[in-house]
Copies of this chain bind each other. A is one copy, B any other.
Amino acid sequence: MEFLMEPIGIIRTPFDDRKGMPIQPRFSQAVGLVEVFEEYAQGLQDLEGFSHVILLYALHRSSGYALRVRPYLDDVERGLFATRHPCRPNPIGLSIVRLLSCRDQVLEVEGIDVLDGTPLLDIKPYVPDFDARPDARAGWYDHRPTDRDGYS
């Protein structure tokens, strides 16, 4: 069973390579542009009422994967699925970003943490009732070394 995914747009960001890129939106005030292809523009209606959106995208510069990896924010190897490492069997990235504006097929977003030119796969509205679990326990992340600045 295979599933073929095709970009619905392109994400423009200030980041040409991973060095210096924030590793999660929460550590970033960087502004990016999510350019949705014209054929999908009508699907963006009603998004402007949402303060945050979920971006799903292809981690297009990742290749291969290991099942144990050292996360950026930790010193020891962890199981891949217990990390947000970009090299995964299905290289789908997920970022929650603040929606600043939405016009003419372009979303201006804040808190972007992806490489310039990243292929967009989907946009979903962020709904706190579905998506916010502020009291969740976060395993090794809760006990990580605290001298990291959130940048790779």
Contact = CB atoms under 8 A, between A and B. Distances in A.
Nearest to A42: B67
Contacts of A94: 54, 56, 94, 124
A47 B139 contact: yes
B3 A130 contact: no
Contacts of A92: 5, 56, 92, 121-122
A25 interface: yes
Contact of A132 (B3, B47, B136): B136
A63 interface: no
A96 B91 CA distance: 19
A32 to B, nearest CB: 16
Given A51-B136, A134-B134, 5 more contacts: A2-B4, A3-B58, A44-B82, A50-B139, A129-B141
